[in-house]
Amino acid sequence: MKRFPSLALTLMALIACSTASALEVGDIAPDFSLAGSDGQHYQLSSFRGKQAVVVAWFPRAFTSGCTVECKSLADNGDKIRQFDVSYFMASTDPLEKNIAFAAETNADFPLLSDPDKSTAAAYDVLMPVIGLAKRHTFYISIDGTIAYIDRDINAASSAEDMVARLAALGVAAAPGG
């Protein structure tokens, strides 16, 4: 009997902490500096005032759903690039694994690696027990605020869904496009 009150208080504290940190539309997107599969380093703040950004978090390279999603984006990159946007997939996988995954899926966009999981935690996509990211996509406006969070991703149609969302958000056309 004496254990129950402390267990209940612990559970209530965990629930309060987990819901308090959730990002919402209109919040400033947490800055990051992550290595990409293309050998470049990307810092979100460097896009502020210049271009919209999409970050599609995925759980793990070389798994079925992640492969389908990455191929969807790679096969339809021409449609996404009609918008003035930089887009990435991101995971907690080590860089070497994402480089190999990008090569296997013919990704023509960078896959970002967050092996210390700090950026995934900041975006509230980290699954703490297993250390993988949830499959969520963040649409970040040119001013650095979160314009939309897609928490219900269909891996097979992810590129088409991204194009539709960019259009619905009114993201500008790519220069010269």
Q: How far apart are the first and last CA of the chain?
A: 68
Q: Which of 4-13, 79-88, 122-131, 153-162 has the lowest mean pLDDT?
A: 4-13
CA quadruple 171, 161, 22, 8: dihedral, nearest 10 = 170
Does residue 8 have a pLDDT over 60? no
How does residue 16 score in pLDDT terms, banded at 50, 70 and 90? very low
How does residue 18 score in pLDDT terms, banded at 50, 70 and 90? very low
**How many Å apart are CA 53 and CA 71, to the nearest integer?**
19
**How many Å apart are CA 155 and CA 147, to the nearest integer?**
21
Tell me which residue of 32, 71, 37 sits closest to 159, measured CA to CA. 71
pTM of this structure:
0.87
**How many Å apart are CA 157 and CA 152, to the nearest integer?**
11
Sign of the torsion formed by the C-alpha atoms of 112, 56, 30 and 129: negative
Segment 102-146, tens digit of pLDDT: 999 999 999 999 999 999 999 999 998 899 999 999 999 999 999
**How many Å apart are CA 161 and CA 131, to the nearest integer?**
27
Amino acid occupying residue 60: R
Which positions are catalytic? 66
Does residue 86 have a pLDDT over 70? yes
Segment 23-71, tens digit of pLDDT: 999 999 999 999 999 999 999 999 999 999 999 999 999 999 999 999 9
The answer to whether 80 and 100 are in contact (CB under 8 A) is no
DSSP state, residue 48: T
**pLDDT confidence of residue 153:** 95
Cα 85 to its chain centre, rounded Å, is 14
Sign of the torsion formed by the C-alpha atoms of 165, 155, 122 and 87: negative
Quick check: helix, strand or coil at residue 124? coil
